[in-house]
Structures are given as structure tokens and as C-alpha cells.
Amino acid sequence: MKRLTPLLALFLFGLQVSPAFAQNAGHKSTNLLIYSIDVEGGQATLLVSPSGGSLLVDTGWPGSNGRDAERIQAAMKDAGITQIDKVLITHFHTDHVGGVPELVKRVKVGEFLDHGVNREDSDVTRKDFAAYTSAIGNTPRRTLHPGDAIDVSGLNISVVTADGEHISSVPGIKPELNPNCAKEPKWTLDQSENPRSVGILVRYGQFSFLDLGDLTKPKELDLVCPNNPLGKVSLFLVSHHGLDQSNSKSLVASIHPRAAIMNNGAHKGGSPEAWQTVSESVGAKNLFMLHTAEGSDAAHNSGDELIANPKGDGEGHYFKAVAHPDGSFGVTNSRTGETKNYPAK
């Protein structure tokens, strides 16, 4: 019997092509993927758009035999990508920028984004900044300013803070008076790189994700007081690993996230004050933690099912959020495989 060519077979039996084959044949996903990668108290957050565009926010620590680069690669493999379009460095502290030299040895990066130059008078930070600029070599690098857009296909990404400055409005969002500001204490501005953090608001249809790096309380208040320009958000990456120098009530209550992820380490971040502030806004059953905060108490740690790495330095378990344009999303704990779903409103 004469065999049919693949093209003729598809023509004759096209109505019987399986959904799986159709998807592999060019169907585009409708999911935004967000990975909160465990880099033991630093930050590495990978976003992959439905079209496969990618943005990595920060790269974790140096050393540890390339541990953090390996964990980023594991998330990339799960997302089905082999290179990263853009890497955003929120600020030039070791736990955010230190992983760049190892990452670029392993992964092709299209462009680096940051707030410009190191502003901290610290030998360690100057060393980390120099290592970063040396490692990226001739890879394109762009300085971000508040109000800039980051071009990742299928996503609307607005820069809301950078180098100590902030936006007053975001296109498509009406600023609202923030009633929490009047009761907020006056906080002292630190002179580190933290208040220079690049912060981004990512929107995908009705879903939104906020990441402000390690922005500290005085700059949070500048951003959301007297008016909050960010609106309510779906998912919040708890600022500064859940340290109490950040996560003011004026910020957290005004954005009122549906869920939050704290990228703390076993012995870094996860302070009782920050945990309490965030949990009062999202609810304790909606606050995910990369680690048990071992310096805290049970009353200020989330339940075991919401913790990716319950004991000590973990095995690199991460959280994966899958978001849809109708605003619905789910957060999966890679340790347990369990997903908590949030329906569209």
C-alpha cells in the first residue's frame, strides 16, 4: 500500500489530529509563568511570557559551585526555554548581582537592565559592581528610569522605581488616595543600594505582579503616599526577603495582594513584623515562604504546605505561579506538587 505523505495525511485526517499534537504544532500558551527560585535568601525570579519571552530578575549569590545558576537553569528547563532575553538587576548587592558571572558562563543573555551605577560607599558593593560589569562584557546593557517600559512580548512591564526615584502614575491605572499614610511612622532613609532598587509592575490582562527588590520603607512611602499609583495587585513578591526595613503597612495594605511570596532564607529575612504586616493583608493561608524563618516563631511562619524548604538550607525547591489573562492564577509548591488556585474575580 502506498504511504501517505505527512502533508496529505494532515489534509485527510486533520479533524482527527489530537489536541497534544495540535499544541506542539504551533498552539501558543495562554499562561504567564513566574518562578520564585530558591537562592537561599537572595533573589532570582524568572518570568516567561506566553510567547516564550523571558525576564530574569536578579541572579542570586556567587560561589557554592554555581548552585544558584544551576537552580535558575532548572527553572528555565521547566519553562521550556534555553536562553534569557533580559536580566534585570534590581540593585548591586551580592545576593542579587553576585550570580551574574556564573550565569553568563552557562546561559545566553540578550540584554542586561539596571539602575545605572553603584551608589553605595562600600568596598564589597564596589567589588560586586565591578565583577558584574566585567562579566557582561559586550552584552547590551540599559539603564532604567521610572516610567520606562521593559519589552517582553505579551507582557506590560512598567518600571515604577529606580535609582531612588519613582513614578506618580502608571498608564491605565488611576491613582487612589492611600488612607494608611497618615498613620505611618517617619522612617530614616538608609544610604545603601537598597533604596535604589529597580521595582517593576508586571501586567498580563487582569493579572498583576509587583516586585520592588529591596526597596526600603522611606522609598515605599514616596511611591504610595499620599496616592497609590499601583492599584491592587494579584501577586506580590515580599520586599527585601521579608525584612522589617521594608514592607510598610502603607505599601502592603494599599496594593492588597491576593497572594504573596517571601523569598527568604532559613536565617535571612522572614522577620515577624514583616510577616505580620503581609499576612494581615493577604491572609496567613496566602503567604508562601521559600524557607521556614528559623529565627522566628511558629506564629510568624506560614503553614508547612506553604513553605518550599521547611528545614535549614533547602534542596532548591521553588514556587511556580501560572497566571491567566482573566486574572486567575495558581501557585505550586515544587516540594509537594500542590497548587493553590485563585479564580478570576
- Tens of pLDDT, residues 121-165: 999 999 999 999 999 999 999 999 999 999 999 999 999 999 999
Average of pLDDT values for 262-266?
97
User: Is residue 15 predicted with pLDDT exceeding 80?
Assistant: no
User: Where residue 345 falls among pLDDT bands split at 50, 70, 90?
Assistant: confident
Q: What is the pLDDT at residue 29?
A: 72
Half-sphere exposure of 343 (CA within 13 A, CB side): 1
pLDDT tens track for 209-237: 999 999 999 999 999 999 999 999 999 99
For the chain, the farthest-separated pair of C-alpha atoms sits apart, in whole angstroms, at 84
Cα–chain center distance at 152: 14
Q: What does each C-alpha distance from 180 to 199, 224, 225, 249 come to in angstroms? A: 21, 10, 8, 7
Average of pLDDT values for 181-186?
93
More confident residue, 25 or 206: 206
User: Where residue 263 falls among pLDDT bands split at 50, 70, 90?
Assistant: very high
Q: Residues 107, 69: contact at Cβ < 8 Å?
A: yes
Average of pLDDT values for 63-80?
96
CATH 3.60.15.10 corresponds to the domain 27-337: yes
Neighbours of 121 (CB within 10 A): 9
Q: Residues 263, 241: contact at Cβ < 8 Å?
A: yes
C-alpha cell at 206: 487582569
pLDDT tens track for 280-310: 999 999 999 999 999 999 999 999 999 999 9
pTM of the model: 0.91
Q: What is the pLDDT at residue 14?
A: 36
Q: What is the pLDDT at residue 2?
A: 40
User: Where residue 318 falls among pLDDT bands split at 50, 70, 90?
Assistant: very high
User: Where residue 28 falls among pLDDT bands split at 50, 70, 90?
Assistant: low
Q: What is the pLDDT at residue 30?
A: 82
- The helix/strand/coil state of 201 is strand
Q: What is the pLDDT at residue 315?
A: 86
What is the rounded average pLDDT for all residues in the chain? Answer: 92
Q: What is the pLDDT at residue 13?
A: 33
Q: What is the DSSP letter of 312?
A: S
User: Is residue 333 predicted with pLDDT exceeding 80?
Assistant: yes
